[in-house]
């Protein structure tokens, strides 16, 4: 058996060696602090599926705008049954289609907000939590804008229905 005491160094010996080593160092090592580090902005979060869906929903919102635009000239020109069944059906189909797409997108955004909230609560790293929170805030902003758009789309549908009643259009044409 080997004896541990034979090769062991005493604390006093270790302190003497460290003191000698420090005397031989000509220049002390650089100590880095937070003030020495450059402030770097966090990278932008990756595109999320709802953001892509928002871009895809923009062109889809145009049919509702067309329906609104088509209803807007009705103020200047009295709507009439002479415009034909096809015209009235297309107006309503476009407006309802836009509302339906918005409702689907609303559900997707709502799911995204819930997922981001759960992800935020599951993370412990403050940097990751801040990035997730920023994504969540943007998703909530999109959600609120979409709700406003849906309210406008519902008003456009009501306007088309009112114009059709004024024009004497048979109810079956706009169902």
The 10s digit of each residue's pLDDT in 116-129 is 999 999 988 889 88
pLDDT at 76 over 60: no
pLDDT at 16 over 90: yes
pLDDT at 51 over 70: no
Whether residue 99 lies inside any domain: the answer is yes
**Nearest C-alpha neighbor of 155 from the set 65, 55, 59, 74:** 65
pLDDT at 53 over 90: no
Tokens describing residue 26: 């000509």
Our count of domains for the chain comes to 1
What's the CA gap between 103 and 89, in Å, rounded? 21
Q: Looking at per-residue confidence, does 53 or 115 come out higher?
A: 115
Percent of the chain with pLDDT over 90: 26
**Nearest C-alpha neighbor of 108 from the set 79, 81, 139:** 139
Residues 30-50 pLDDT 10s: 777 877 777 777 777 766 555
Whether residue 10 lies inside any domain: the answer is no
pLDDT at 62 over 60: no
Whether residue 5 lies inside any domain: the answer is no
Whether residue 45 lies inside any domain: the answer is no
pLDDT at 61 over 50: no
- Measured in whole angstroms, the distance separating CA 31 from the mean position of its chain's CA atoms is 41
What's the CA gap between 55 and 165, in Å, rounded? 35
Whether residue 32 lies inside any domain: the answer is no
**pTM score of the predicted model:** 0.50
Mean pLDDT of the region 149-156: 90
Which residue has 């609303």 as its token pair?
106
Whether residue 121 lies inside any domain: the answer is yes
Whether residue 1 lies inside any domain: the answer is no
Q: Looking at per-residue confidence, does 7 or 95 come out higher?
A: 95
Whether residue 33 lies inside any domain: the answer is no
Domain that holds residue 66: 50-76+83-174
The pLDDT, as a whole number, for residue 35 is 78
Q: Looking at per-residue confidence, does 75 or 43 come out higher?
A: 43
């Amino acid at each position: 058996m080997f004896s541990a005491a034979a090769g062991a160094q005493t604390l006093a010996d270790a302190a003497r060696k460290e003191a000698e080593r420090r005397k031989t160092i000509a220049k002390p090592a650089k100590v880095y602090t937070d003030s020495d580090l450059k402030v770097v902005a966090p990278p932008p979060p990756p595109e999320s599926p709802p953001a892509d869906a928002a871009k895809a929903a923009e062109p889809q919102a145009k049919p509702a705008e067309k329906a609104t635009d088509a209803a807007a000239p009705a103020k200047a020109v009295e709507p009439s049954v002479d415009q034909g069944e096809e015209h009235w059906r297309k107006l309503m189909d476009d407006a309802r289609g836009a509302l339906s797409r918005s409702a689907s997108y609303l559900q997707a955004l709502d799911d995204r907000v819930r997922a981001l909230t759960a992800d935020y609560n599951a993370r412990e790293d403050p940097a990751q939590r801040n990035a997730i929170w920023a994504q969540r805030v943007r998703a909530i902003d999109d959600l609120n804008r979409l709700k406003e758009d849906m309210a406008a789309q519902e008003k456009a549908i009501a306007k088309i229905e009112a114009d059709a009643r004024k024009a004497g259009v048979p109810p079956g044409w706009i169902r």
